[in-house]
């Protein structure tokens, strides 16, 4: 119940100092979940449970509408009207402290993952996937990509690399399977990876068979992947009794 003059006239104070309207006991609450105003809530049990969280039915209905889809519309309207952009944004020219950043990160852990995700169990339509793909074209390309290495991917490969038989030999040597023990099994296509990332070094001990997914992930944390795949080839050569050159640089 909202605290207003019309309602205050109906309120009486009992001998024990409680607030009452007719035969119902009321307690004062700090703020309504929707409007944030203080209000009087009917106390329907002595334990204090089942206390209304809203000051009125209208606030309860509005909160339900907002939480079931209107938040996006409100956010979109604010963006179109530029109500929270530039100098109108309360954080304009400010930066979160490290403590504030950590608190925000902790509050978001697991909040939108797994079953809490709004896309959990849903499959995007081809039209939606195409829209997402087109919106990202041209982003993170060239020098804008965090993995940019100065254009080394455009450098030529070694002479042997032009022969498919050579790549097939490496794949057959590795059993025609991805040798990454932590492979996600998301790709069936195999490719040959240069362990030391030198495309001109096509020595067999510098090559390893990976699936396309693992090969792409090897572009991150290169030193770690280099040592990992080098050790895998070394152990396989020990088992097979072949010579291993560990001068991979």
Task: Please give the span between the terminal C-alpha atoms of the chain, in angstroms, as a whole number.
Answer: 75
pLDDT given for residue 241 in this prediction? 65
Which one, of 190, 187, 188, 185, lies nearest residue 173 by Cα?
Answer: 190
Residue 173, pLDDT score: 92
Question: 96: which residues sit within 8 A by CB, 6+ positions away?
Answer: 104
Domain boundaries of the chain, sorted by first residue: 1-88, 154-240
Please provide the average confidence, as pLDDT, over all residues in the chain: 77
Identify the three-state secondary structure at position 218. Answer: coil
Task: Return the pLDDT at 232.
Answer: 93
Query: Which alpha helices (DSSP H) does 161-200 contain, by range?
Result: 164-173
Flag residues of the chain having pLDDT under 50: 1, 5, 244-249
Q: What are residue 20's DSSP bridge partners?
A: 12, 25
Q: Return the closest-CA partner of residue 27 out of 41, 17, 6, 12.
A: 41
Kindly report, residue by residue over 35-94, the tens digit of the pLDDT: 777 777 766 555 555 566 666 666 766 666 555 555 555 555 666 666 667 787 778 888
- 3-class SS of residue 170: helix
């Amino acid at each position: 119940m909202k605290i207003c003059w019309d309602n205050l006239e109906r309120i009486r104070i009992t001998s024990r100092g409680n607030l009452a309207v007719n035969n119902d006991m009321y307690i004062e609450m700090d703020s309504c979940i929707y409007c944030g105003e203080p209000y009087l809530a009917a106390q329907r049990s002595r334990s204090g449970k089942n206390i209304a969280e809203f000051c009125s039915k209208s606030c309860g209905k509005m909160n339900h509408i907002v939480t079931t889809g209107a938040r996006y519309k409100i956010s979109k309207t604010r963006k179109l009207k530029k109500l929270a952009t530039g100098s109108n944004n309360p954080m304009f020219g400010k930066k979160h402290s490290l403590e504030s950043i950590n608190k925000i990160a902790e509050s978001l852990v697991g909040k939108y993952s797994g079953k809490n995700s709004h896309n959990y169990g849903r499959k995007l339509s081809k039209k939606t996937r195409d829209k997402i793909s087109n919106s990202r074209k041209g982003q993170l390309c060239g020098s804008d990509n965090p993995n940019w290495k100065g254009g080394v991917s455009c450098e030529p490969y070694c002479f042997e690399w032009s022969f498919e038989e050579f790549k097939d030999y490496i794949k057959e040597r590795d059993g025609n399977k991805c040798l990454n023990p932590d492979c996600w099994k998301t790709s069936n296509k195999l490719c040959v990876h240069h362990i030391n990332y030198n495309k001109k070094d096509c020595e067999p001990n510098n090559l390893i068979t990976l699936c396309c997914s693992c090969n792409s992930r090897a572009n991150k944390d290169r030193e770690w992947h280099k040592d990992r795949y080098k050790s895998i080839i070394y152990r396989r050569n020990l088992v097979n009794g072949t010579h291993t050159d560990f001068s991979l640089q």
